[in-house]
Chain A
Amino acid sequence: MVLDWVLVYVGEALVLIGAIFDVIAAIGLLRFPNFFVRLHAATIGTIGGAFVPLIGVSIMSLGCGFLGPTRFFVAGGAFVTALLILFLAPAGSHLLARAAHISREAVVYPKVVDHLEEDRGGRHG
């Protein structure tokens, strides 16, 4: 059936885009100099590398007739997981960045001005 092929191809395209984003994010996480710069790569890895392929899996499984009734289960579960990741990953990254800044665990190296540090009475500039 034509619709099945369209669903499978769209899903496969999204999964492939997600896998490429995943490798880019992993290389960035490995090569960037410190924690606050690595946050950018981690954001690519969560939204581009997990949300997009999960939507792709959800669309792709709807077209897989050989799965039988299992395909609706896979599609629904993958969609719910994608929504959870879309809402929870930015919240988790923000919590971690705030905690790292408060506890002075990571250096804020390429910076112009740091108002949070000044508000806590730290070193200016």
Chain B
Amino acid sequence: MDIETQVHTFITFVIPIFALAFILYIVRALKGPTIPDIVLAIDAMTYDLAAFLALLAIYFESPILIPCAIVLALWVYALDVYVAKYLSAKEMGE
């Protein structure tokens, strides 16, 4: 068995584990009683989605998925900052 088939077999084995985690995160994001709960679930899910995209970049052998992971990590930090600003000051800032 060469490296390519070994890596592809491993990634096909790992994808369902990540998918199970995403489903559980989405359940919490839909149920979440308060706004911080929803944002926390979306937050953790998006950081894991960035790791999942980096894994898919190896699986599909396409380098174009990697900048998406960087942008996703920065975007969800911006979501955190804006929601925290709105919750504590009741305004979005300039």
Interface of chain B, helix or strand or loop or mixed?
helix
Q: Interface code A19-47, partner B: CB below 8 Å = 1, 0 otherwise?
A: 11011011101100001001101100110
- Which residues of A pack against B, CB within 8 Å? 4-5, 8, 12, 15-16, 18-20, 22-23, 25-27, 29-30, 35, 38-39, 41-42, 45-46, 49-50, 53-54, 57-58, 60-61, 63-67, 70, 73-74, 77-78, 80-81, 84-85, 88-89, 91-93, 95-100, 102-103, 105-106
List residues of B whose CB falls within 8 A of some A CB. 3-4, 6-7, 10, 14, 17-18, 20-22, 24-25, 27-28, 34-37, 39-41, 43-44, 47-48, 50-51, 54-55, 57-58, 61-63, 66-67, 69-70, 73-74, 76-77, 80-81, 83-85, 87-88
